[in-house]
Amino acid sequence: MPLWANPRVGLVVLLVLLVALFSTIRPAFLDTRLTLTPLQSDISVYLVIGLAQMSVLSLGHMNMAVGRMAATSAFAMGLVHHTLGAGLLVSLFTGLVVGAGLGALAGLIISRTGVNSFVVTLAMDFALVGLITILYTGVVDGVAFPTMPAGMEALRFDTFADYCAGEICGPRIPLVAPFALAAALLTGLLFRWSRVGREILMTGSSPRAAELSGIPTRGRVVQAHALSGLLAALAGFLLAANNGAFSAGIGDGFLLPSFLAPVLGGTLLAGGAVSVLGTVLGATLTQVIYKGLNLLQFQLDRLQLYIGLVLLAALSLDRARHVLAGRREAAP
Amino acid sequence: MLVAENLVKTFPGVRALDGATLTLQPGTVHALLGENGAGKSTLVKLLTGVYRPDGGRITLDGGELHLGGPLDAQRAGIGVVHQERNLIPAFSVAENIVLHHLPGRAGWLDRARMRAEARRCLDLLEVDLDPDTPVARLSVAQGQLVEIAKALSLDNKVLLLDEPTASLTGDEADRLYTVVRRLRDSGHAVVLVSHKLEEVFAVADTVTVLRDGRSVAEAEPLAGFTQGQIVDLMVGRAFASIELAERTVGEQAPPALRLDGVSTALGHRDVSLAVRPGEILGLYGLVGAGRSELAKAVLGLERITAGTVEVHGEPARIRNVGEALRRHRIGYVTEDRKDEGLFLEQPVTRNIAVTVWRRLARAGLVPDRRERALAETYVERLGIRVSSPRQLAGQLSGGNQQKVSLAKWLAADCDILIVDEPTVGIDVRTKAAFHELIAGLAAQGLALLLISSDLPEVVVLADRIAVMSDLRVVGELDNDHDYPRMSQQIIRLVHAETHVEGRVSAA
């Protein structure tokens, strides 16, 4: 395959062009404190939620409840801190378990009943919307927990530059970034090299052939959805850190970006193939566009419009490139 | 008279047709023969407007035809049954049959007329199907019959049948050919593309043979050829008869796989079979006799309601293919390689290694190097033609796909292999290679259950032949490989049963 035919290359080129454009018009775009560090925090959140969606796209499934799985997990994190006084790690761990559990439940319903994942997760999303409101009203009589575990403030405001060993300080990378990076690396490892990850992809490729090749397909469906829930919980945690509170509104804006990042990066909706690197680039691209247009002082509604147009253009370009590459490949 | 002269069709990287000529007289059945990849299906698609030719011309009764799409061909009176499924699963049988000329009244569908028309076409084939059944609920063979009925519903001057009997039973094929003869006698021209030479010789009048995209015999009377000569023409060399490996069946050894009085939720009754190591048990039966379903019941995919399954003398309760493979070392090569046997969108390496990732993995991770090495071993051993082991399985030809589908079970190192219709839709040469391979596996001591509705195949390969009909085993024969005698006995067994069950009461 020629280099230009790789979907990731197109994204990189587009990214470079946009960064050049934005920084020419508004030099403040390259300001670390003002733009780049917050940008990295945002990318971290949307990368992880993209990975959450990618985990089930691998099966050709969808998770329409990513947002509410994140919100429910964030509630669980807030709750164990609020009522039991749990620390950062215990809270995080609890939230991840709740997220994975919700995902596994969705996976279990899908694999047992054979109902389409879209329908099951959409129904779950509705149920959780109600549940979250009830829970927050019942526990804190509001829409957010008043306190956060110690250390969340550091995750919100600190960068590695604030931590020095003698004279040498770290780069201006927010503390949330390594969480997202680790999630991406582990997910990549899972789908690229692990047996379980490959079996999930094969199940996505052809469920019937997978079953007849001895793959425990039901188990793989449950596992992929559990992973999706786990990553959604992590994204919820990172957003709570960025926002400074565990609140009911976490995850409200997750659904569309969760599809955008992996799909821009070349993950197929049909299942059977994923790209973690593509999801990283897809998440980065969307957030760069968002940040750039924001900096150019577009109003919010205009902003949405332009982001939509840019993404449409990016996807069409991608399709054209794909077709061209196909022709090239077929030629002698 | 339909004439296609010197047709040329190039696809990126391949010259599928390179000067093929087909002359079609009204009132004849014309066989179009050739190996896989010789260009038969491409020619059929050019004649029906699916593709446009890059060179040459097509004339109908002297006038040149420019077929811009399938509708043009339909208007010109050329009907076709393609090799691939072309039915809409959610629509009923009747809707599918009259799809291209739905009877209407003031813009509304006339359902009664639609049903009557569908009924008429199904009756031509003597098919007993409810026209209101959704196509999604039909078996492969029933779907094929509906396709043929659909082609019959238009009164076409020319009818092209591309492998129409690939999934039909002998009876169903006979009925189809009765219709074909009737069409011929009423002045229609029928083109028959088939791998089954026995059928071709029974029904066709003239023959065109394609080799590498060229016609090497053009509309010659079939009576002037023997089957051997036709095969020589197709292959382009003298046909070497296959040599099967010598083997001995472990008479003393306990059966590798034994079914004792097995009944299933699907309706199998009291099925008893046994295969010993080194033995090939042929399981012959018509489509719908319940052979594949029996295999799937053994693998735990269908529920067994009574009786026992024993593997190497031990009772076995198998719940899924994974258990069959890992605990009992049973492999199942499915008849439906496209939907059940292969991952078309995945590379050959993964298609072969999928059953053995557990073995290849180190600490849960599968190294590419080990996977590739394994795949290369089998690509070489089975002579699978690939541009690279990373090539997608969907891009391979039918024969090579079938080899990949088999390779994953060989890689899994099975003791017992259930092989379901291994050579359906595969050309003569690859078929012979498959037969050698299967006999070779038995010679290595594997126990093989060969499910097949290809009578010559069963008689050539099997040591014993069990005949299934209507979800029961109706007889078991020792095979002496004397084709005329064996085939007679087998067919008698099959038909004796159908008589008792169905026909007598009607008479």
- Residue A182, pLDDT > 90, answer yes
Say which residue, B247 or B464, is predicted with more confidence: B464
- Å from A222 to nearest chain B CA? 17
Could you tell me the CATH number of the domain that includes residue B6?
Answer: 3.40.50.300
Name the residue facing A327 among B12, B361, B365 (closest C-beta): B12
For the ranges B9-23, B81-95, B363-377, the lowest mean pLDDT is seen at: B9-23
Strands (E), B440-504: 447-452, 464-469, 472-478
Say which residue, B143 or A129, is predicted with more confidence: A129
Which of B359, B391, B413 is the C-terminal boundary of a domain? Answer: B413
Say which residue, B93 or B495, is predicted with more confidence: B93
> Which tens digit of pLDDT belongs to each residue from B175-191?
888 888 988 988 889 99
- The reply to whether A16 touches chain B by the CB within 8 Å rule is no
B76 and B202 share a domain?
yes
- Contact call for A209 and B342, based on CB within 8 A: yes
For the ranges A49-63, A181-195, B227-241, B247-261, the lowest mean pLDDT is seen at: B227-241
- Residue A223, pLDDT > 50, answer yes
* pLDDT for position B307: 94
- Contact call for B320 and A214, based on CB within 8 A: yes
A-contacting residues of B 368-427, CB under 8 Å? 368, 408, 412
* Closest-approach residue (CA) in chain B for A202: B343
Question: Is residue B437 in a domain?
Answer: no
Name the residue facing B343 among A193, A196, A206 (closest C-beta): A206
- Contact call for B12 and A209, based on CB within 8 A: no
* pLDDT for position B171: 80
Rounded CA-CA distance B443/B437 in Å is 10
User: Phi, psi (5° rounding) for residue A131?
Assistant: -60, -45
What is the mean pLDDT of the segment spanning B397-421? 92
- Å from B187 to nearest chain A CA? 43
- Å from B355 to nearest chain A CA? 6
Name the residue facing A194 among B11, B325, B365 (closest C-beta): B365
- Residue B240, pLDDT > 50, answer no
> Which tens digit of pLDDT belongs to each residue from B487-507?
888 878 877 654 444 333 333
A34 band by pLDDT with thresholds 50, 70 and 90? confident
B109 and B189 share a domain?
yes
* pLDDT for position A329: 47
B200 and B142 share a domain?
yes
User: Phi, psi (5° rounding) for residue A32?
Assistant: -60, -55
* Closest-approach residue (CA) in chain A for B300: A212
Rounded CA-CA distance B99/B95 in Å is 6
Spatial neighbors of B326 by CB under 8 A, at least 6 apart, are: A214, B358
What is the mean pLDDT of the segment spanning B281-309? 91
* pLDDT for position B503: 36
- Residue A178, pLDDT > 90, answer yes
Question: Is residue B265 in a domain?
Answer: yes
B192 and B72 share a domain?
yes
- The reply to whether A168 touches chain B by the CB within 8 Å rule is no
Question: Is residue B240 in a domain?
Answer: no
Question: Is residue B242 in a domain?
Answer: no
* pLDDT for position B501: 42
- Å from A75 to nearest chain B CA? 34
- Contact call for B340 and A210, based on CB within 8 A: no
- Residue B239, pLDDT > 60, answer no
* pLDDT for position A327: 57
User: What is the distance in angstroms between the CA of the first residue and the CA of the last residue of chain B?
Assistant: 42
B155 and B175 share a domain?
yes
B351 and B365 share a domain?
yes
Mean pLDDT score of chain B, rounded to an integer? Answer: 86
- Contact call for A213 and B345, based on CB within 8 A: no
B29 and B133 share a domain?
yes
Contacts of B361 in chain A (CB under 8 A): 194-195
User: Phi, psi (5° rounding) for residue B484?
Assistant: -55, -45
Domain containing residue B171: 2-235
How many domains does one find in chain B? 3
Sheet holding B464-469, edge to edge: B330-333, B416-420, B447-452, B280-285, B464-469, B472-478
B147 and B6 share a domain?
yes
B406 and B375 share a domain?
yes
- Residue A316, pLDDT > 80, answer no
B262 and B176 share a domain?
no
- Å from A29 to nearest chain B CA? 42
> Which tens digit of pLDDT belongs to each residue from B298-350?
999 999 999 999 999 999 999 999 999 999 999 999 988 888 999 998 999 99
* Closest-approach residue (CA) in chain B for A205: B343
* Closest-approach residue (CA) in chain A for B412: A213
* pLDDT for position A4: 64
Confirm if B332 and B301 have CB atoms less than 8 A apart: no
Spatial neighbors of B5 by CB under 8 A, at least 6 apart, are: B21, B56, B57, B58, B59
Question: Is residue B249 in a domain?
Answer: no
- The reply to whether A186 touches chain B by the CB within 8 Å rule is no
A238 band by pLDDT with thresholds 50, 70 and 90? very high
* pLDDT for position B319: 93
What is the mean pLDDT of the segment spanning A8-33? 88
